């Protein structure tokens, strides 16, 4: 019941934030984006308190760094690098969660789609990155490794909670792809909608993936 209530409150807050992105006022953006993440964070904390395993603690840490990244990216001054670093650390925590208690998987068949996607998006962005080439390309590698290892975890345990993490990772990659295209190749009107909806869905899915699977994670 608590997860359902927090999900409802998060959905309302996310809707108000997206509305404010297009219609204002500005203070609603500053209020509702972190508030949405706080509701998602509370879901993760509540589930971690029940589970008390490293997976949950690592996801909570990732959500905390994501919240920090959101705040950096919202500031009137350009804090893109600080936001990028915060989200990169968040993904490192997510990777740690996905590989805990099992070897880091290296399957060519599963890594191939992520590698191809990374190459294509890098080719698309590279001419427009300027001095941001290294940090952006490093971020692309880390987020794709996060997605890849979420898939490997699901392949290993075949649990519904692991599938939530897979879709969360995919939505995260979609959101950040749109954000990068909007920032480096030119703004377009639907960018906010196409960034925020998959972003909030991604974080919620990763948060609700904290549940005891049928086998050890």
Mean pLDDT of the chain: 92
- Please tell me the distance from the alpha carbon of residue 147 to that of residue 157, in angstroms, as a whole number: 16
* Per-residue confidence band for 105, with pLDDT thresholds at 50, 70 and 90: low
- Please tell me the distance from the alpha carbon of residue 216 to that of residue 212, in angstroms, as a whole number: 8
Q: What angle do CA 143, 194, 76 make, to 5 degrees?
A: 80
DSSP 217: -
Length of the chain: 217
Q: Is the pLDDT of residue 97 over 70?
A: yes
Per-residue pLDDT tens over the stretch 143-191: 999 999 999 999 888 889 999 999 999 999 999 999 999 999 988 889 9
Q: Is the pLDDT of residue 204 over 90?
A: yes
Tokens 């909670």, located at residue? 161
Q: Is the pLDDT of residue 13 over 60?
A: yes
Side-chain-side CA neighbours of residue 34 (13 Å): 15
**Residue 208, SS3?**
helix
Q: Is the peptide bond before 217 cis (omega within 30 degrees of 0)?
A: no
Q: Is the pLDDT of residue 107 over 90?
A: no
Q: Tokens for 24?
A: 């204002």
Q: If phi over 0 gives left and psi between -120 and 50 gives alpha, with beta otherwise, what is residue 158?
A: left
Q: What is the pTM of this model?
A: 0.92
């Amino acid at each position: 019941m608590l997860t359902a209530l927090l999900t409802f409150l998060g959905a309302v807050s996310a809707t108000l934030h997206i509305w404010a992105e297009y219609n204002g006022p500005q203070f609603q953006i500053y209020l509702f984006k972190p508030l949405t993440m706080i509701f998602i964070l509370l879901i993760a904390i509540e589930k971690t308190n029940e589970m008390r395993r490293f997976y949950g603690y690592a996801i909570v840490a990732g959500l905390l760094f994501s919240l920090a990244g959101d705040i950096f990216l919202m500031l009137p001054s350009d804090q893109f690098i600080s936001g990028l670093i915060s989200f990169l650390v968040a993904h490192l925590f997510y990777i740690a969660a996905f590989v805990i208690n099992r070897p880091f998987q290296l399957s060519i068949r599963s890594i191939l789609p992520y590698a191809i996607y990374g190459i294509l998006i890098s080719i698309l962005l590279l001419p427009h990155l300027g001095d941001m080439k290294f940090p952006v390309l490093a971020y692309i590698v880390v987020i794709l490794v996060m997605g890849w290892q979420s898939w490997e975890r699901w392949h290993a345990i075949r649990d519904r909670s692991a599938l939530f993490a897979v879709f969360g990772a995919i939505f995260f990659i979609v959101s950040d792809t749109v954000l990068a295209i909007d920032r480096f190749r030119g703004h377009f009107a639907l960018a906010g909608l196409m960034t925020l909806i998959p972003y909030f869905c991604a974080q919620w899915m990763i948060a609700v993936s904290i549940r005891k699977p049928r086998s050890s994670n």
